[in-house]
Structure 1
Amino acid sequence: MQNNAASLPHAPSSVFPAHEAGKKRKPCLRKILAFWILVAVLGGAGGWIYQTWQKIPSSIRIRAGEEQELFLDVPVSGTIYGEKTAQKDVIPVNLNRPLTVQASQIQDYTMDVKLFGIVPFKQVDVHVVEGQRLIPAGVPVGIYIKTEGILVIAESDFEGLDHSRKEPARYLLRAGDYILKVDGVELEGKKQFTEQVVASEGKELCLTICRDGQTFDVTVTPQQNTEGVYKLGIWIRDNAQGVGTMTYLDEKNGFGALGHGINDTDTADLMEVQSGSLYKTKIVNIRKGISGTPGELTGVIDYKKENRIGAISINSVEGIFGTLSQEEADEIQGEALPVGLKQEVKKGEAQILSCLEEDGAPQLYTIEIKALHLDHDNINRGIEIQVTDERLLEKTGGIVQGMSGSPILQNGKIIGAVTHVFVNDPTRGYGIFIENMLSH
């Protein structure tokens, strides 16, 4: 008997001879290799261009009447001109080498720069400003702010009298909304708002809300829960409080603190402030930071009128700002220091001023500036720092919550403030340039 398998015809191994198939594969491999080389080159070039872009600030401030050196070490050149500058007064610049600049009067200029002097690359605003001196504070403060209206932090359902789920505010209100008025009446607090909802007895309410900067009215009908109480099914907040550090005091008793804004803990949005106050506080405990768990300064705040030391008028991404009482301003010790501009900040040793003891005076602690991000997307993370002072490392493990706002000093100038800590390395963190705080 014949083997069936043996009777099957042999399939050809290739339509073309082996040497011809090899010839066809080689050009294909070359194309693939060339493609990936091109991707690598373009990726590297793109990364280099992005880094160069980041090294050039979007705005530069220089002090009037002083010679100052700019050295960004980037391969760009261009021109500086003012709004009313004549063609003959256009100034050529080369940012690839040290550039000495001086302006005699307060004025704004524009600097157009080109990559390699050829490709239009970036436009930089140049501001000539008066020299300013600030007293570094470094003192802990209690913070209380009242929101502009009632902040909606969440929308939810609840069980009604008929045991069905009720959602009166669904599709009408959302987290981040500010309720400003009810039936045309301005709100003073969440207690008043809750009372108005309960008193509605199920009648429609006209709510004036602010959402993403736009103000408009919505109509909502409260419904009863299982206890017969009228509700809207929203979670609300009308204030925030905490402990931070005052950064500076100016000649008019104006203060800046934190170096970052106060955001709602639930929505993560910057809180709209109607009013706010600073209070005296005492640091009573320090929880050291470890990798993965930030540390914290615990302070005691007594919200009595006699403990109020200042008024908060602004809550912005650059920090909180307001006016300190004269009595408290007189207690801030220290010499007023010149403001260090971005281009004057250098990598290397610096100090932070912070108070970690109950009733103690602020102390200087050594840090190292590891990197500078002159045009970083996040304006309060321009200075990358690492704590090197053994005393501070022993007390706190590095940077802890509550130290935000601690002024950063270098070469006899105030240059910034501590703002953030690295969660996985509490010895490292970020700071904001002081000129960013002053431009709030």
Structure 2
Amino acid sequence: MRNLEKKRKGRYICPLFALLIMLALLEWYLLLQEIPDYLQVPSDSTQENLLGAALPDWVEETVKEAAGGQTSDIPQENLHISAPDSYVVECSLLGVLPVKDVQVEVVERQQLIPSGMPVGIYMKTEGVLIVGTGEVCDVNGQMCEPGGEIVHSGDYILAVNDVPVSEKEEVVNQMNQAVGGEVKLTVLRKGERTELQVPVVQTAASEYKAGIWIRDDTQGIGTLTYLKDDGSFGALGHGISDIDTSTLLNLQSGTLYNTDIRAVVKGENGVPGELSGIIRYSGDEILGTVRENTGIGIFGDITSDPGSLAYCDALDIAYKQEIREGAATILSAVDGEVKEYDIAIEKINLNSSDANKSMVIRVTDENLLALTGGIVQGMSGSTILQDGRIVGAVTHVFVNDPTKGYGIFIENMLEH
């Protein structure tokens, strides 16, 4: 009888033990994904735990190794570092089960000038972008798609029959001089130059087409995130992509212009809103030049008076492990004047695979909600502030809930 009771207890204990093991492994895996591989720590930091409140209390941090590869004698409970250095911190469960080693670099804390000013953006592509292909009607009334299986959406035309092109009109002019029923296109495809022989058909007198849709520029309204003392700027928090191909546009040149916000289309569930305005395309309205179009923002130099674009004097930046969930503000000029509006940072992802979606934010300011319904197109780049520091920028809106959106860490924008 006793043996039978032991067997019954064993039947319950073994599955329970296995369940506990599985839960522990799941927690270990989730922490592995959540803990970053690399951290920048400002030299003035006095945080007891590098990862702050981002991780559960049962995750312990241990200084494992200094820059020279030797064991560190830095006290684990409080790291006060006065000179640039680097070291490794081991994160473990209850100090027993290692989860991940974090490479730590000690840096001098940077300062930036917050903006929040809306700007008009004009970008010229490097080469002429192929958006897609389509059918054309030749002189015989036949529908055909000559370039359909040869060119790819996202290709950039650099030359037609060895003649360099940078504008749509130049491509059209060279196409119309086609001899022998085809043209040679020199294109940039995924960073590599290649030559393509593309058929063309005659569609009218002295008119030949390959059935390709092309674009050579784009424009829109966004928000200036920050300025530096050297006159450089960062904006948007994400790159500018082609509206049809969703590929990041190759930048040849770009310009920032003054813009007037004339109306706000409020966001609703399922329908994002937008800032509607007029970009002042004239020489005396130029604010600066765009040098880089990257996945983490656009960057360039201010050529006008930077003081007119600054919200206030320079502020310290906060590094991602210093950001906390809770109250924060954003800078935006939805009514024509840059103001601070209340938001809440609801989630922080220290190890996001998409830098543009490192924070989830929610608009709580009643005035902003009344004006816009939350986050709208054109607010990308709006500076996020918390505890008197610049922590990031607004990047995206939740289509099904315009009161919420994503943000990028300011340190990510500074990595461009």
Distance 1:195 1:121 in 2: 61
Q: Deviations over 1:219-251 (max 9, x none)?
A: 223221266621111101111110011011111
Distance 1:39 1:206 in 2: 65
Distance 1:196 1:45 in 2: 66
Q: Is the 8 A contact 2:63 2:87 kept in 1?
A: no
Structure 1 residue 65 displacement after superposition: 4.8
The 3-state SS of whatever aligns with 1:127 is: strand
The 3-state SS of whatever aligns with 2:78 is: strand
Task: Work out which of the residue numbers 201, 205, 211 in structure 1 matches 2:183.
Answer: 205
State how many pairs are aligned: 399
Task: Work out which of the residue numbers 408, 415, 419 in structure 1 matches 2:384.
Answer: 408
Distance 1:293 1:213 in 2: 35
Q: Is the 8 A contact 2:265 2:274 kept in 1?
A: yes
Structure 2 runs not aligned, ≥5 long: 1-10
Task: Work out which of the residue numbers 56, 67, 70 in structure 2 matches 1:87.
Answer: 70
Distance 2:303 2:135 in 1: 46
Tell me what 2:43 maps to: 64
Q: Deviations over 1:7-64 (max 9, x none)?
A: xxxxxxxxxxxxxxxxxxxxxxx9xxx99x9998788566534431343123211113
Task: Work out which of the residue numbers 144, 164, 178 in structure 1 matches 2:156.
Answer: 178
Q: Which amino acid aligns with 1:417?
A: A
Are 2:119 and 1:137 equivalent residues in the alignment? no
> For residues 238 and 118 of structure 1, do their structure 2 counterparts lie closer, same or farther at Cα, with a shift above 3 Å needed?
farther
Distance 1:342 1:397 in 2: 28
Mean Cα deviation higher: 398-407 or 40-49: 40-49
Q: Is the 8 A contact 1:163 1:226 kept in 2?
A: no
Q: How does 1:267-306 map to 2 (within 5 A)?
A: 267-306=245-284
Q: Is the 8 A contact 2:329 2:341 kept in 1?
A: yes
Are 2:408 and 1:424 equivalent residues in the alignment? no
Structure 1 runs not aligned, ≥5 long: 1-29, 94-98
Task: Work out which of the residue numbers 243, 266, 274 in structure 2 matches 1:265.
Answer: 243
Q: How does 1:360-375 map to 2 (within 5 A)?
A: 361-375=337-351
Q: How does 1:121-270 map to 2 (within 5 A)?
A: 121-202=99-180, 204-225=182-203, 229-270=207-248
Mean Cα deviation higher: 389-398 or 228-237: 228-237
Q: Which amino acid aligns with 1:63?
A: P
Distance 1:171 1:427 in 2: 43
> TM-score w.r.t. structure 2 length?
0.88
Q: Is the 8 A contact 1:161 1:228 kept in 2?
A: no
Distance 2:263 2:197 in 1: 48
> For residues 267 and 88 of structure 1, do their structure 2 counterparts lie closer, same or farther at Cα, with a shift above 3 Å needed?
same
Tell me what 1:387 maps to: 363
> For residues 420 and 220 of structure 1, do their structure 2 counterparts lie closer, same or farther at Cα, with a shift above 3 Å needed?
same
The 3-state SS of whatever aligns with 2:268 is: coil
> For residues 390 and 178 of structure 1, do their structure 2 counterparts lie closer, same or farther at Cα, with a shift above 3 Å needed?
same
Distance 1:186 1:105 in 2: 52
- Which of these two proteins has the greater Rg computed from alpha carbons? 1
Distance 1:92 1:216 in 2: 57
> For residues 47 and 199 of structure 1, do their structure 2 counterparts lie closer, same or farther at Cα, with a shift above 3 Å needed?
farther
Distance 2:204 2:101 in 1: 62
Tell me what 1:11 maps to: none
Q: Which amino acid aligns with 1:205?
A: V
Tell me what 1:376 maps to: 352
> For residues 389 and 341 of structure 1, do their structure 2 counterparts lie closer, same or farther at Cα, with a shift above 3 Å needed?
same
Q: Is the 8 A contact 2:65 2:71 kept in 1?
A: no
